[in-house]
Structure 1
Amino acid sequence: MKRRTRKSTYFPCKLDNLKQDVTKQFFNGSPDVAAKTVNTQHDKLLIIYMDYLVLEKEVQTNIISKAQGAKQLDYDTLKSSIPVTDIIELKTLNEIGSAMLEGYVILYTEKSQTCLAIPAPRIDQRKPEKAETESLIFGPRISFSESIDTNMNFIHKRLDTPTLAVEKFIVGDTIPSEVRLVYLSDIANDEAIQEMRSRLNSLKIDDAMESSALTQFIEDNSYSIFPQFLVTELPDRFCYSLKEGRVGLLVDKSPSGIIAPVSFFSFFQTTEDVYTRWNMGAFIRLMRIIAMILSITLTPTYVAALTYHYEIIPDALLVSLGHSRTRVPFPPLLEALILEFLIELIREAGARLPTKVGQTMGIVGGIVIGQAVVQAGFTSNILIIIVALSALASFTTPSYLMGSAIRIIRFPLMLFAGFWGFIGLIFSFAFIAIHLVKQRSLNFPYFVPIYPFQPRDFNNSFIRLPFLWSTKRAYSNRPKQIRRFPKPKR
């Protein structure tokens, strides 16, 4: 329970001294420290706790009343008199302060060599709700909550197996947070487990904050725009990944879980692909990948074609393009940058506003501003269509982090297309491909199954085959048990 490094207070000491030391030295004189002196049959008893962290009714009913009726105020007598488990003995001021922050009630009598800590935490939890960021049509829609105990309950209900392994870590020197490493011991790769352990143990940070923030401390390349760990708010997807041989992390006070190792194509998959029929799941997966490619290529291709490569445009379309651009005073690059920036402004404003207002803002704002900029001569009708298609295509990415990365990539691609045409585009795509090939996720290849080439993993990346043909887990995860179930005989 070690949390902070402060001067220790050794027992025995006077009740008033202990009260003063705890309040001033550890909690900086906080008014939330409740201290009560209770007269018992044998001696005075000091009770200290944080007012907003414990249940007042629990303190009055199960602690104070039972302590007053105890024959003696020693450890063994109080432990048998108070109907609460996990009672511990504390010897230093540092231990007392740490226990109070976890919802313990401290009991102490003068001349005693130790004090007792009795758990009575107030746990304010919101009810499980429907997932908002990762919406589904088929399958469980419940999301993680901010309580790590509730989240572990979700995991145990879905993975009712003795091979489910859970390891506890404390991350953060100033504000410690509990982190759970979760995996299936008979499936997960030992190298991945050990690597995750090593990264968590070597962390020297003041606060883990949240799951998305923690990934930035333990990922392989913090300078890359592409996420290397998958963050999900769906317990169902979390458990499915564990069954595939991956490892997971749960952070206390965070409503999402971390999955690793993952590949670039993992961010375009959902558990909904598995719940639907195989042919529909395969079509949707391929559609997402094609939409991602269109999202980053449509606008840069428009800029490159109108700036340097008019010859690739069909004659009929070239006439229409020339007519729509007669009133536009900007070059294609500046025109595209202005419109893409406006789209991003509308998208961000809609995300920050309340849900109903945000939806109205997105629809009305897009229609009104789009019509206005065309009539004002700031852009052409064709570019409005292209930018709208690019924005729609980016929304098909299930992962918000990967969708944001794709949105940002479009801007440097447009700059390269505007300065060097298709040569600049080819150079940009080559740079992105090399970067993805070199990228790692928990020391596992990131661009698998393209590189290293693993055609056996196409079923777990690009397409989805019938269950009768999907008897094996992805080779790229290096699971201990590669086979999910025996191949059916027909």
Structure 2
Amino acid sequence: MVLFSNKNKIQKKQATGKDSSSIPISPSLDNNIRIVKQLLNESDDLKEQDIQLPSKQAKLLYIETITDTSVIQEQILSPIQHHSDHASVDIFPSREMNKRTDLHEVASDLLHGRTALILENERFIYTFDTKSQYLRSIEEPNNEKVIRGAHYGFIENVNVNINLIRSRIANKNLVIKNFMIGDEVKTKVSIVFMKNIVNPKLVSEVETRLQSIHMDIVTSPGYIEEFIEDSPFSPFPQMLTTQRPDRVAYNLMEGRVAILSEGSPNALILPITFFGFFQSPDDYNSRWYVGSFYRLLRFISFVMAITLPAIYISIVAFHFEVLPTKMLKPIKESIELIPYPPLIEATIMELTIELIREAGVRLPSSIGPVIGIVGGLVIGQAAVEAHLVSNIMVIIVAITAIASFVVPSNEMVTTLRLLRFPLMIVAASFGFLGIILGLTVMLMHMCTLQSFGTPYLAPISVGRWTDFKDTWIRVPIWKMNRRPKDPQPQQLDRESDSRRWKKE
């Protein structure tokens, strides 16, 4: 009767996808094995192995496709063989051994690569961490390369990623909190913060939003970002994505929170402002005036990447008078044979660039650069000779594409690629007035955005001029002796007078 009752519970759990109630351990070894197999739907890679003990019978249960048999031999079988006369729990190495009293927990452990030691006439089952690890080497992220600085990045294992962070911040106040998110498939998600610096309300808000996520499986931080960001319909990213441990460490020391997910090399940093997407580790590894120059260059490139095609359309369609007299004739000769208006011409070229860019990402690395050469030279030159686009338009699109690559954040690059098209439409409709209206609406929208309570355009929108030391430009590091107020840290003072030796 117990078996049938447990079987009904198993069927109810499989129908609802959730554990309706616990299934206690039975004294019968075979009964426990049978129930666990039913919980795992009699999967063929679920293996059992007999173990002969002096006083009782025992079995090992594991899923061979996700466990390391050498670890099973070393951590479980070898101690039993060497202590066969007095086998007990004390003979096993302390390798995350758990004592379970519920068969649902045993099944869950098996799905996470653990091995179960089931003993006859016992009301508990031991599980050991024997998960097989297939890790790629720690390398520098391809999309966040730096000239001066650390050349290593996160991988797809969250424990390794936390290890990289702890190696940068060896401090007792660095806190890690783990969550299991997902209704059908549990995914390990970790939040990282400095307890003595971060605002406790921020940590509490992050925990609340993470615990409110209910979906079958969470495969990447991109899923988490959509669930917990303040304005999911905004084109602007409200969390910074990075694969660099040094960038995460720097933001943690400013009072921000990082979110790591198992199976992804990306970390989410929050809260973040618009200016945070233009900061690069190289800004702080170079002299302050060099870092300031390149940061200003990134802001200029952002404006160029959004507005340059729209400005071209406005000039050609409405405002020829702004051009110098000597430029009127060559531009007129370039566009007079084009059979359609500037908006269509610019749209064709921009879509072509997007196709080339997307093809370069999807194709193998050995072929990707060839696509760029073919698209940039052959197709562009052929389109000009066929009078499908003007040579001025090819130059504009090329400069726009180059300017978009200067922005260090891939999320912000995607945003400016999308915002380019609405500005082109309003420029074709109203000229310079349309561009001004479009930028005004964009700025108003950015003023309404928040990232976990932090204004998106801070410190400009809140008038905190003391935080301007690390926005448009960066002042010398010894001048940035106070943390920015954006994440509302507990401690504002970052350093004392580090150049006191100069005064003395």
With structure 2 as the length reference, what TM-score do the two structures score? 0.92
Deviations 1:304-333 (A, max 9, x none): 121122222222222111100121101011
**One of 336, 339, 349 as aligned partner of 2:359:** 349
**One of 465, 468, 471 as aligned partner of 2:481:** 471
Name which of structure 1's ranges 189-198 and 251-260 shifts more when overlaid on structure 2.
Answer: 189-198
Name which of structure 1's ranges 368-377 and 462-471 shifts more when overlaid on structure 2.
Answer: 462-471
- Counterpart secondary structure, 1:45: strand
In the TM superposition, residue 65 of structure 1 has moved relative to its aligned partner by 4.3
**One of 171, 181, 184 as aligned partner of 1:171:** 181
- Counterpart secondary structure, 1:46: strand
Name which of structure 1's ranges 418-427 and 435-444 shifts more when overlaid on structure 2.
Answer: 418-427
Q: Could you say which residue in structure 2 is the equivalent of 1:63?
A: 76
Q: C-alpha separation between the residues in 1 aligned to 2:54 and 2:322? A: 97
Q: C-alpha separation between the residues in 2 aligned to 1:344 and 1:470? A: 40
Q: Could you say which residue in structure 2 is the equivalent of 1:112?
A: 122
Name which of structure 1's ranges 107-116 and 348-357 shifts more when overlaid on structure 2.
Answer: 107-116
Q: Could you say which residue in structure 1 is the equivalent of 2:387?
A: 377
User: Any conservation in 1 of the 2:29–2:121 contact (CA below 8 Å)?
Assistant: no
Q: C-alpha separation between the residues in 2 aligned to 1:355 and 1:150? A: 27
Specify whether residues 110 and 261 from structure 1 end up closer, same or farther in structure 2 by C-alpha distance, changes over 3 A only: same
In the TM superposition, residue 60 of structure 1 has moved relative to its aligned partner by 2.8
User: Any conservation in 2 of the 1:212–1:231 contact (CA below 8 Å)?
Assistant: no
User: Any conservation in 2 of the 1:216–1:222 contact (CA below 8 Å)?
Assistant: yes
- Counterpart secondary structure, 1:143: coil
Q: Could you say which residue in structure 2 is the equivalent of 1:201?
A: 211
Residue 365 of structure 2 is aligned to residue 358 of structure 1: no
Q: Specify the code of the residue in structure 2 equivalent to 1:32.
A: D
Residue 39 of structure 2 is aligned to residue 14 of structure 1: no
In the TM superposition, residue 87 of structure 1 has moved relative to its aligned partner by 2.2
What does 1:317-328 correspond to in 2, within 5 Å? 317-328=327-338
Name which of structure 1's ranges 98-107 and 296-305 shifts more when overlaid on structure 2.
Answer: 98-107
In the TM superposition, residue 357 of structure 1 has moved relative to its aligned partner by 1.4
User: Any conservation in 1 of the 2:25–2:103 contact (CA below 8 Å)?
Assistant: no
Specify whether residues 367 and 243 from structure 1 end up closer, same or farther in structure 2 by C-alpha distance, changes over 3 A only: same
Q: Could you say which residue in structure 1 is the equivalent of 2:464?
A: 454
Q: C-alpha separation between the residues in 2 aligned to 1:187 and 1:58? A: 40
Q: Could you say which residue in structure 2 is the equivalent of 1:340?
A: 350
- Counterpart secondary structure, 2:436: helix
Residue 237 of structure 2 is aligned to residue 223 of structure 1: no
Q: Could you say which residue in structure 2 is the equivalent of 1:388?
A: 398
Q: Specify the code of the residue in structure 1 equivalent to 2:276.
A: S
Q: Could you say which residue in structure 2 is the equivalent of 1:410?
A: 420
User: Any conservation in 2 of the 1:183–1:247 contact (CA below 8 Å)?
Assistant: yes
User: Any conservation in 2 of the 1:11–1:111 contact (CA below 8 Å)?
Assistant: no
What does 1:118-157 correspond to in 2, within 5 Å? 118-157=128-167
Q: C-alpha separation between the residues in 1 aligned to 2:297 and 2:460? A: 18
Q: Could you say which residue in structure 1 is the equivalent of 2:7?
A: none
Residue 54 of structure 2 is aligned to residue 44 of structure 1: no
Q: C-alpha separation between the residues in 1 aligned to 2:150 and 2:245? A: 9
Name which of structure 1's ranges 50-59 and 243-252 shifts more when overlaid on structure 2.
Answer: 50-59
Structure 1, unmatched stretches of 5+, are: none
Q: C-alpha separation between the residues in 2 aligned to 1:11 and 1:265? A: 56
Q: C-alpha separation between the residues in 2 aligned to 1:355 and 1:384? A: 25
Deviations 1:447-482 (A, max 9, x none): 112212222222211101112322122122322221
- Counterpart secondary structure, 2:367: helix
User: Any conservation in 1 of the 2:140–2:152 contact (CA below 8 Å)?
Assistant: yes
Residue 168 of structure 2 is aligned to residue 158 of structure 1: yes
Q: C-alpha separation between the residues in 2 aligned to 1:132 and 1:151? A: 17
In the TM superposition, residue 6 of structure 1 has moved relative to its aligned partner by 5.5
Deviations 1:347-402 (A, max 9, x none): 11111112231112112321111101100101111111111111110000101111
Q: Could you say which residue in structure 2 is the equivalent of 1:245?
A: 255
Name which of structure 1's ranges 360-369 and 325-334 shifts more when overlaid on structure 2.
Answer: 360-369
- Counterpart secondary structure, 2:290: helix
Calculate the aligned-residue CA RMSD, in Å: 1.8
Runs of 4+ in 1 over 6 A off after TM superposition: none
**One of 195, 212, 222 as aligned partner of 1:185:** 195
**One of 311, 315, 322 as aligned partner of 2:325:** 315
In the TM superposition, residue 289 of structure 1 has moved relative to its aligned partner by 0.1
Structure 2, unmatched stretches of 5+, are: 1-16
In the TM superposition, residue 10 of structure 1 has moved relative to its aligned partner by 2.8
User: Any conservation in 2 of the 1:70–1:81 contact (CA below 8 Å)?
Assistant: no
User: Any conservation in 1 of the 2:196–2:490 contact (CA below 8 Å)?
Assistant: yes
Specify whether residues 486 and 242 from structure 1 end up closer, same or farther in structure 2 by C-alpha distance, changes over 3 A only: same
Q: C-alpha separation between the residues in 2 aligned to 1:424 and 1:215? A: 33
Q: C-alpha separation between the residues in 1 aligned to 2:248 and 2:202? A: 16
In the TM superposition, residue 126 of structure 1 has moved relative to its aligned partner by 1.6
Name which of structure 1's ranges 284-293 and 454-463 shifts more when overlaid on structure 2.
Answer: 454-463
Q: C-alpha separation between the residues in 1 aligned to 2:245 and 2:151? A: 9
Residue 290 of structure 2 is aligned to residue 277 of structure 1: no
Name which of structure 1's ranges 303-312 and 128-137 shifts more when overlaid on structure 2.
Answer: 303-312
In the TM superposition, residue 66 of structure 1 has moved relative to its aligned partner by 3.4
User: Any conservation in 2 of the 1:300–1:417 contact (CA below 8 Å)?
Assistant: yes
In the TM superposition, residue 109 of structure 1 has moved relative to its aligned partner by 2.7
Q: Quote the sequence identity (%).
A: 34
Q: Specify the code of the residue in structure 1 equivalent to 2:291.
A: G
Q: C-alpha separation between the residues in 1 aligned to 2:383 and 2:463? A: 47
Q: C-alpha separation between the residues in 2 aligned to 1:38 and 1:194? A: 47
* Number of residue pairs the alignment of both structures matches: 484
Specify whether residues 65 and 136 from structure 1 end up closer, same or farther in structure 2 by C-alpha distance, changes over 3 A only: closer
Q: C-alpha separation between the residues in 1 aligned to 2:464 and 2:398? A: 35
Q: Could you say which residue in structure 2 is the equivalent of 1:445?
A: 455
Q: Could you say which residue in structure 2 is the equivalent of 1:28?
A: 41
Specify whether residues 226 and 208 from structure 1 end up closer, same or farther in structure 2 by C-alpha distance, changes over 3 A only: same
Deviations 1:164-209 (A, max 9, x none): 1221212111111111111111222222222212211222222221
